[in-house]
Amino acid sequence: MRTVGVEEELLLIDRESGEPRALSSAVLARAAKAAESPDGPQGTRHADDYRDPEEETFEKELTGQQLEFATQPRTGMDDLAEEIARWRTEAARHAGDLGAAVAALATSPLPVSPKINVGSRYQWMEEQFGLTTQEQLTCGCHVHVSVESDEEGVAVLDRIRPWLSVLVALSSNSPYWQGHDSRYSSYRSRVWGRWPMAGPTQIFGSAERYEEQVRDMVATGVLRDRGMVYFDARLSHRYPTVEIRVADVCLEASTTVLIAALARALVETAAREWRAGRPPLGHSVSLLRLAAWRAARSGLEDTLLHPLTMRPAPAGEVVTALLDHVRDALEEAGDLAMARKAAADLLEHGTGARIQRNLLDRTGSLSAMVAECARRTQAT
């Protein structure tokens, strides 16, 4: 069975006001010290782990108001859920020692002036991209799914393109920006799309053509290196995986697990289609951009563009189409019942975007809403 691993970016906030705080360096120092302790939490490692055993669980991101963690590659969703919950709890504990908290929010509901972290890479980005870099306080969820080769990986990328917008809708968790309702469900994805190297891709057809595209992009000098190829889905430059990068960080850990299960099922389904000689759908990049915009705007609250036809359809119908598309892969992995229930719960009760808006309606306070989201971040 294919392994799946998750990277989550969390927002560091003041425990009282809910305002983002640039504490990532201090939190990382506490996490490193705890890891050195014999009583510190240790992630369970498996024989097929592709991560370097010396890598840290927690890492800094572009801004000081963010903290990222990465799970080990897992085959079972229960194991993945347990690890996500554990590292969210650990992040909250380390932040709490500094009078802060963590919230799984993809943008800050409260006004913030992001602080770019120290480092040559981040400073280069700030110089190169100016305000785009300075405004990039966004928290995403990246899912890594193992592939057997670059050739299989590129075949997967070519075939999952139309379905990625549905993951945007399911994960949508960023309705607020700088104290205002953006009127989007996933405004993070719109801000992220300001990078010139981000977004959907054309059909590559082969690993050779994919690599040629990456080399040409780096050769322009606009990108520092291949790690800055921010495709919606790409071959990881560090691991033997396809990395799906479209999702908001999810308020509830159970939604993260759903996104991971669907991502693995999409990869497995696409790989089977490739081996069977089925060509990818030929939707243009322009249509894929419109589908992504529609998903970011609507979440699950309105219509989406159906991945097969690129025509408007009710969100519930589109989610059902995704579940049907990957049904065999979900069933063989033992994830079908979980995925159906989790998707139904989102359609009935709403994504993180709706929850945030409902909380604000109830409390009348962005600070109170953020505090409740911080509590929910750790709920299992």
Which residues, other chains included, contact 27 with Cβ-Cβ below 8 Å and sequence gap of 6+? 12, 58, 67, 91, 94, 95, 98, 100
Give residue 34's pLDDT: 82
* pLDDT in the model for residue 82: 97
- Is the Cβ–Cβ distance between 188 and 140 less than 8 Å? yes
115-378 adopts what CATH topology? Creatine Kinase; Chain A, domain 2 (3.30.590)
Give the Cα separation of 255 and 262 in Å (integer).
11
**Between the CA of residue 186 and those of 170, 255, 258, 347, what are the distances in Å?**
10, 15, 17, 16
- CB-CB contact of 106 with 378 (8 Å): no
Are the CB atoms for 352 and 188 separated by under 8 Å?
A: no
Q: Average pLDDT for residues 245-270, to the nearest whole number?
A: 98
Cα Rg of the chain, angstroms: 19
Confidence grade of residue 54 (pLDDT, cut at 50, 70, 90):
very low
pLDDT value at 129 more than 60: yes
Residue 328: is its pLDDT beyond 60? yes
Note whether 15 and 23 are within 8 A (CB).
Answer: no
Reported as type and span, the H/E element at residue 11 is strand 4-14
Which residues partner with 305 through β-bridges?
312
Three-state DSSP at 358 gives helix
